[in-house]
Chain A
Amino acid sequence: MAKDLKPLELEMSCDPEMMLLRKMVYAVLSEMHKMLAFVRLKPFGSYALYGYLKPRHRIGAYVCDHFARRNPGTMIMLGNSRESWISLLSGGKIRHDHCDGLPHILDRLKSGTEDRDESEKAEEIWKVYYDSQYSSERRNMALFQSRMPKRYLKCAGVGLERNQCDTSLFDFVLNE
């Protein structure tokens, strides 16, 4: 029944069961959209990128494929301690794998010569840049928290903005 349904029908329907279905579909699509936005990748050697992902719905493979398409020729590894997804776009085709825990597969691939320091550069640049974009006249914590809900940040393993969220002593001292 679900496969015969067209997106437009789902959107416009007023039947209670369809509305429930619509809410659920939107929840899945919403998490998909947020994961594409919040997942952060770090370089692994020069041929791969890895990142943390622990989605509530079964969207791991889609998210991984999306990043594989954006970075052709680069292996993308996303996952958490329980499961992980790997994708690579090469020669016009996407190759997948679905494995257990991310730390485990990173160990399998490490040949001992990878230089880990390089991966921190992007994060440093981002920290400075992110801070420069804040405009204290427009401070609106409620809007910030609704747009970066904690549950999605946890699923994507994003730490930076959450730390900014907690008021520190400096917030009171410097009156920012």
Chain B
Amino acid sequence: MKIFLSHRLAVLQLESQILSSCILKYFIQSAFSNNIMVNLEKIAHLAKESRFDSMGPEASVDAEKLGALGSATKHDVCASTFSPRSPALPGICHSFTRDGRCVSLFKTLYTNHCTHQCNYCINASGCSSRGKIFSYSPEELANITISLYRSNYIEGLFLSSGSGRNEDTIMEKMIETARLLREKYCFQGYIHLKVLPGASRSHIGEAMELSDRVSVNLEAATASFMSEICATKDYEIDILQRQRYIRDLMSKINLPAGQTTQIVVGAGLESDFEIFKRVLLEYSEIGVSRTYFSAFCPQKGTAFEGRKPQPLWREHRLYQMDWLYRIYHFHHRELDFAFDEQGFLSNSDPKMAIARELMDSPVDPRSASYQELIRVPGIGPKSAQRIMALRQKEGSLGKAELASLGVRIKRASPFLKINGWRDSTLEMWSS
């Protein structure tokens, strides 16, 4: 028996290798059909011959500049490296910091010289602990990016900046960096360019042509909250209007990973409900691919130094709400049930809170629709699809089967009618 089992396991392991190699070939869209076995020395000879010297002199390291301009972007949380172009760039995380966040892009400011006065920012012109002013040159930045890319530390570049003396001049420099990368170094990786508030429409168009994604940060939920946190930026003209330019230009220019934006959570006094209302407007009117949330952390020397730091769970719950809207396609009226009377989210799963309010009768997994199934806590899109697939094969759907499909039985069973029986009544949950 044991020999039979271990033989079976060996066969299964071999099958899994074959299968995964088939799946890999299915996913790796290789344009090249010829893979040839060739001797090592011949390969080395071919490589030396086909050398086109596109690498300039090696990048020299100014550690202070690198550190200062790099750390200034750590509150800009977009870390996506996925770009749906052909060949598609899958999202790969090359490294993680000790806080569990992905570091897969060379994220940096072009310069930390800024004339805006955002009350939460260490580079604001009124900040008392502002450090030395640094700036890159386009060649320097391109060199560093290419060195890191060749050594497989990064997937691409995320370039933001302070406004310098004039945001159009800085935008030109950022665009030149991207152009050097794409044209001189034939860089095929990911580029995310930040559009500075107030940048001109033509610069935005040039930036879009060279990058995978562009974004303008909202920072606040409405114009009145913006005036509290930054007196020098005009919400309507500098930010929303720029987002509309990007939206309009996307019909002419291909921007594979779309437009995104970011809101600072907790710098002003806006409630989660007001933030979420803005998020919904962004999706419907501006058509962003995603919104990001960055929990406010008071920085020394800034005007907001004394304000309370925001708990990270507030950011996490807002991301969950965003997910329910974008991926699960909940209606915004359903989502309103997750907010309390003051318009804030609590530190508990919003899907559970919504299910408790809205579900008045248990769901039968043998006859429910996909929409009804994913509203059950403990059932996500994959489990719901597996349930629908199993239904077609007319298998039994008891607790054990559901658990093996990936359903979290403990969370889901109060809401389900399994094999005609209710496990526990919903009254238990509506206290």
Residue positions of A touching B, CB distance < 8 A:
1-3, 5, 7, 10-14, 16-17, 19-21, 24-25, 27-29, 32-33, 36-43, 46-49, 51, 57-58, 62, 65-67, 69-71, 73-75, 86-99, 105, 108-109, 118, 121-126, 128-144, 146-148, 161, 164-165
Rounded to whole Å, the gap between the CB of B252 and the closest CB of chain A is: 29
Which chain B residues lie closer than 8 Å to A12 at the CB level?
A: 385-386, 389
The verdict on A75 contacting B19 (CB below 8 Å), with A105-B40, A133-B107 known, is: no
Which chain A residues lie closer than 8 Å to B180 at the CB level?
A: none
Which chain A residues lie closer than 8 Å to B23 at the CB level?
A: 7, 25, 29
Which chain A residues lie closer than 8 Å to B108 at the CB level?
A: 129
Is there contact, CB below 8 Å, between A41 and B46? no
Question: In whole angstroms, how far apart are the Cα atoms of A38 and B96 in the complex?
Answer: 11
Partner of A1, one of B15, B385, B404: B15
- Indicate if B280 sits at the interface (CB-CB under 8 A): no
- Indicate if B201 sits at the interface (CB-CB under 8 A): no
Which chain B residues lie closer than 8 Å to A141 at the CB level?
A: 98
The verdict on A41 contacting B66 (CB below 8 Å), with A97-B37, A121-B59, A133-B103 known, is: no
Q: How many A-B contacts are there with CB distance less than 8 Å?
A: 242
Interface stretch among B87-95, B125-133, B170-178?
B87-95
Is there contact, CB below 8 Å, between B100 and A140? yes
- Indicate if B395 sits at the interface (CB-CB under 8 A): yes
| Chain A residues touching B, majority SS | helix
Question: In whole angstroms, how far apart are the Cα atoms of A129 and B97 in the complex?
Answer: 11
Partner of A144, one of B58, B96, B405: B96
Interface residue count on the B side (C-beta < 8 Å): 83
Is there contact, CB below 8 Å, between B38 and A58? no
The verdict on A96 contacting B67 (CB below 8 Å), with A1-B15, A129-B106, A137-B297 known, is: no
Which chain B residues lie closer than 8 Å to A2 at the CB level?
A: 15-16, 18-19, 22
The verdict on A7 contacting B37 (CB below 8 Å), with A70-B188, A125-B144, A144-B98 known, is: no
- Indicate if B61 sits at the interface (CB-CB under 8 A): yes
The verdict on A75 contacting B43 (CB below 8 Å), with A3-B22, A14-B386 known, is: yes
